[in-house]
Amino acid sequence: MMAALICVFSVGAFLQFVMAYCRSIVTSATKVTLSADVYAVARVQSVSANDFERFLPFMRLCPGHRDERRGLSAVSAYYNVLNLLSKAVGAMAPGFASWAERERQNCSHFAAVALDRRISYNRELFLRQATNPF
Amino acid sequence: MGLGLVGNAFVVAGFLLEAAVVVSSLYRREFIRYLNLNIYMILTGVADSALLTCVEKYGTNSHQYFVMYYSSDVLLGILMYALIIELYQHAFARMNLRQYIRLGAGMLLVITALFSYVMVHNEHQGITTKFAVELEQNLNFVGVVLTYILAGSVLKMEEKPARLVQIVMALGVYFSATAGAYALRNLFPALGVSFVLWLPTCAATWLPLACAYSFIHETRDESGVSARQSAHQLAVNPQ
């Protein structure tokens, strides 16, 4: 009985903690301002909820720092879960749908920030190489 | 019998990640601020090394390995309480509740110790696998409850320190996965050979991974910082 209660509570808490962890990573990027480069590269005027997948191919083309990738995989998984949930229960719960939309937009902003960093990082490295090749 | 390729890979990965947490917190000058977390990482690394030596000498089916595994796990579990207290102190730093937090935590530790003593006293056959699994399940469940309350308090704060939030959530994932896995093993002992056996190992690798990520990455995301500035920081200093 005790083990069953602990099991149920732990599974519920686990799901909540995973979601909260992904949210904390996504939220950390919302305060970061984007440069004009990222809008120009992705050909967007502003970052919307559906832009997450638009930024990913550009990021594959642009090598980044190794610790950028870890956060991106967690956010990518979070984005896919949000997509799945908003498709499954979005029509029945409009409040949840609008919350999921906001979260998906934050995920897209996170991806845009990561792309922006990669562009700037590569440009900076290229300039350093050009000015000091040895 | 050894741990196998996957088991050894987990131990090595865990060891490297624990070292990464300590080095990155030193680099960020946060070693003292998160002292208990760093002590936990160092001692987990020491326990991992001792376990590997024990496996080499006696094998995984030996009594020595069994005692070593569960005693180090329980001791690290107690140290984990100290880590949670530290995080509570960070969360309530402005409210001057340090004394009450220490008192509450001390009482909780005494209650847990007494509860464990009663369980040991009632167990006539000594430390069996069932007893160890039950004890682990209870210790980790207390961890889940404490972290759950802490997470609720941290999320209610007006200014949410990003690193503290990430560490608390990572700790919550660790505790809930471990407690859930032990509870499943307790409920269905036949699952002992399947994925449930690997869940605590995965969770133990997850915790240093998430902590290392928060130390390496998070400080560059303070408000008002542009992506360009942070990329410049990375290019100048790629560590």
> pLDDT tens digit string along B79-126?
888 888 888 888 887 677 777 777 887 787 777 777 766 766 666 555
Average model confidence (pLDDT) for chain B? 79
- pLDDT band of residue B192 (cuts 50, 70, 90) is low
Cα gap B215→B18, rounded to integer Å: 12
Question: Is-contact B51 B69, C-beta < 8 A?
Answer: yes
Residue B189 confidence (pLDDT) above 50: yes
Cα gap B227→B129, rounded to integer Å: 52
- CB atoms B183 and A4 under 8 Å: yes
A38–chain B nearest CA distance, Å: 10
Q: Residue B230: its pLDDT value, please?
A: 56
Q: Considering only CB atoms, which chain B residues are within 8 Å of A25?
A: 166
CB atoms within 10 A of CB B224: 8
Q: Considering only CB atoms, which chain B residues are within 8 Å of A71?
A: 213, 217
Task: Give the count of Cβ contacts less than 8 A between chain A and B.
Answer: 125
Q: Considering only CB atoms, which chain B residues are within 8 Å of A128?
A: 235
Q: Considering only CB atoms, which chain B residues are within 8 Å of A68?
A: 217
Partner-chain residue, chosen from B169, B224, B227, that has the shortest CB–CB distance to A120: B227
- pLDDT band of residue B23 (cuts 50, 70, 90) is very high
Partner-chain residue, chosen from B160, B186, B221, that has the shortest CB–CB distance to A32: B221
Residue A79 confidence (pLDDT) above 80: yes
Partner-chain residue, chosen from B137, B228, B235, that has the shortest CB–CB distance to A116: B228
Of B189 and B31, the one with more pLDDT = B31
Q: Residue B105: its pLDDT value, please?
A: 76
Cα gap B186→A9, rounded to integer Å: 15
- pLDDT band of residue B221 (cuts 50, 70, 90) is very low
Q: Considering only CB atoms, which chain A residues are within 8 Å of B175?
A: 13
Question: Is-contact A45 A100, C-beta < 8 A?
Answer: no
Partner-chain residue, chosen from A18, A113, A119, that has the shortest CB–CB distance to B173: A18
- pLDDT band of residue B223 (cuts 50, 70, 90) is very low
Q: Residue A15: its pLDDT value, please?
A: 92
- pLDDT band of residue A67 (cuts 50, 70, 90) is low
Cα gap B21→B40, rounded to integer Å: 10
The helix (H) or strand (E) run that includes residue B182 is helix B162-187
A-contacting residues in B 89-128 (Cβ below 8 Å): none
A44: left (phi over 0), alpha (psi -120 to 50) or beta: beta
Q: Residue A128: its pLDDT value, please?
A: 80
Question: Is-contact B11 B53, C-beta < 8 A?
Answer: no
Query: pTM of the entire structure?
Result: 0.80
| Predicted complex: ipTM over 0.85 | no
